[in-house]
Amino acid sequence: MAVDLQKLKRKMRGVTSTKQVTKALQMVSAMKMRKAQEHSEKSRVYRRGLNELMASFEESPADAVPELAVVPSGEKILVVTFASDRGLCGPYNSNVLNAVRWLANEKGKDNLEIKAMGIKVGSVLRRRGFKVLSSERRPAWSHFGPRIQELSRELLELWNSGEYREIRLIYSHLRGMTVVRPEPAVWLPIEPTEGQAEESRSGGGDYFIDEAVTAPVLAQAVQRYLTNELLTGLLQSEASEHVARMVAMDNATRNAEELYSTLQLTYNKARQAKITQEICEIVAGANAV
C-alpha cells in the first residue's frame, strides 16, 4: 500500500506543534507550582503557631467554642471540594470525584451536600445526581484570602443552622513532589488533636496568656485555625494541580517525541522505497530501449 508522504509530513508538523504546546504548559505549571508551594509552606508555619497557641491554654478549644464541638441533630454532611477549573492534569479531578463517591457509599448519597470550588468537579457531581449547593471557579491568587474568609463565614453560618452533623473538606495534597489522593477530612465539629491535648495537659507552649482573656482569645484562635484549614486546602489543591499537570504534560511531551520518531522512520522508509522504485523504473526503461 502506497504511503502518502505529504500526509506524513503534515502529521509530523502537527506532532511538533503539539509537543511545543505541552512543553510550554509543563514549564508554566512548574513556575506556578513553586509559587503555590511557597504559600502552602507559610500556611503550615501559621498553622503550627496556632496549634502552639491553643496548646498553651488549660481550656481545650472544644470547651471555648462548644457550639463548634457539639454535633447537631441534623443528618446531612456538607462536603467542600477543592479541585480544578480545567483539565489536562491527569487523574487529579478524578481522584477528588472518587473521594466523594467513597464518602457517599459510606454515609449515603442522599445525606451529602456539596460546595465545589473548581467547576470541573461541581459539574460532574451535578450530572451524577449529587446535591450541589454551589459550584464556583477557583479564585485568583490575589483573592485567595478574601474568598477563604468569606467561605469560612458561609460554612459557620450553615453549621450554626443545625442542619449538618459534619462539614468535611476534600482536596489533594502534596508529599514531596508526589500528589497524594484526597481523603475526606473533618472540618467541623472541632476536637483537639493529640498533640494539642497532650501539650495542654503538660502546660506546653511558649505563650503567656492572661486567664481573664482566655476564652475570647482561644475562641478567636479557633476561628483563625478553621479559616487557615480552608486556606491550606486551597493552596494544597493548587500546588497538587500544577504537579499533576507537570506530570501529565511531561508524559504528553514524551509521547509526542516517540510518535514523531515513529512517523519520521515511516516517512524515511516510504521515501527510500519511492526513490528505489523510481530508480528501478528508470533502469527498466533504459533496458527496454
Whether 206 shows a pLDDT value over 70: the answer reads: no
Which pTM was predicted?
0.81
Gap between the Cα atoms of 53 and 208, Å rounded: 9
Question: How far, CA to CA in Å, does 228 sit from each of 181, 200, 202, 235?
Answer: 21, 21, 26, 10
Q: Is 187 helix (H, G, I), strand (E, B) or coil?
A: strand
C-alpha torsion 163→219→234→191, nearest 10:
-70
* Dihedral pair phi/psi, residue 121, rounded to 5°: -70, -40
C-alpha cell recorded at residue 176: 514531596
- How does residue 198 score in pLDDT terms, banded at 50, 70 and 90? very low
Q: What is the pLDDT of residue 167?
A: 94
**Among candidates 96, 30, 81, 98, which has minimal Cα distance to 239?**
30
Least confident of 49-53, 61-65, 145-149: 61-65
Site of grid cell 509530523: 12
Q: What is the pLDDT of residue 62?
A: 67
Q: What is the pLDDT of residue 75?
A: 83
Whether 137 shows a pLDDT value over 60: the answer reads: yes
Mention the CATH class of domain 36-244: alpha beta
**Among candidates 209, 230, 180, 206, which has minimal Cα distance to 59?**
209
Domain formed by 5-29+247-283, architecture: Orthogonal Bundle (1.10)
Q: What is the pLDDT of residue 21?
A: 93
Q: What is the pLDDT of residue 289?
A: 62
Q: What is the mean pLDDT of residues 213-225?
A: 78
Q: What is the mean pLDDT of residues 34-44?
A: 84
Whether 257 shows a pLDDT value over 80: the answer reads: yes
Whether 260 shows a pLDDT value over 80: the answer reads: yes
DSSP assigned state of 213 = G
- How does residue 253 score in pLDDT terms, banded at 50, 70 and 90? very high
C-alpha cell recorded at residue 65: 467554642
Whether 204 shows a pLDDT value over 50: the answer reads: no
Domain layout of the chain by residue ranges? 5-29+247-283, 36-244
Whether 39 shows a pLDDT value over 70: the answer reads: yes
Q: What is the pLDDT of residue 4?
A: 81
Q: What is the pLDDT of residue 213?
A: 56
Share of residues in the chain with pLDDT > 70 (%): 87
* Mean pLDDT, rounded, of the chain: 84
Q: What is the mean pLDDT of residues 49-56?
A: 78
List pLDDT tens digits, range 230-244. 999 998 999 899 999
Which tops the pLDDT comparison, 64 or 21?
Answer: 21
Q: What is the pLDDT of residue 201?
A: 42
List pLDDT tens digits, range 74-128. 789 999 999 999 888 888 999 999 999 999 999 999 999 999 999 999 999 999 9
- Count of Cβ atoms closer than 10 Å to residue 131 Cβ: 13
Which tops the pLDDT comparison, 188 or 213?
Answer: 188
Q: What is the pLDDT of residue 202?
A: 44
